[in-house]
Structure 1
């Protein structure tokens, strides 16, 4: 599903409210991904309850982390192409520090 064009047009346009404004297509994509991740987490819980071999559980955890990273990348892309650019163009340089803090958190 290619949503790159939609990503550029959305995010936190209402500065005073600091809310995201994602398209219905983007919300649907993100919610679908998160629902899948939620199911994977329930699956890992079940694997642990059934004493599944540790390596198999760890591989599922790695898949969940990768899926979460993908959701984060989509949100970060939209944020940078929309909110960050808008705020810089309006003279707000503080958004760069905010973005750096967020990227550092994502990279831990």
Structure 2
């Protein structure tokens, strides 16, 4: 079971809203909207995706990483490294 399983429907709703934002961005480009207005919406969509990513990471740490750390050994080391790599990817984006 994944750490986010209990919140799966919430994630689906949030991602559907983000999908709508992206479709709106496409329409803005098709309609030749002002560049700054498009950039503002790109920023909003980016922040929404980052919010989903941070929440998923929190749940991963609380569930998957915590369970692995309780087991200890190589499994724990691998999960901590995996989480650290995910955090690094988020920080770079």
Alignment of 1:27-66 (within 5 A): 27-66=8-47
Q: Alignment RMSD, CA only?
A: 1.5
| Structure richer in helix, relative to its length | 2
Gaps of 5+ in 1: 1-9, 12-20
- The answer for the alignment partner of 1:22 in structure 2 is 5
SS of the residue corresponding to residue 97 of structure 1 reads helix
Give per-residue Cα distances to partners, 1:39-92, cap 9 Å, x unaligned. Answer: 000000000001100000000000000100111111111000110010011012
SS of the residue corresponding to residue 33 of structure 2 reads coil
- The Cα of 1:107 is off from its aligned counterpart by 1.2
Whether 1:94 aligns to 2:75 is no
| Structure richer in strand, relative to its length | 1
Count of residues in correspondence between the two structures: 89
- The Cα of 1:106 is off from its aligned counterpart by 1.1
**TM-score normalized by structure 1?**
0.78
SS of the residue corresponding to residue 39 of structure 1 reads helix
**TM-score normalized by structure 2?**
0.90
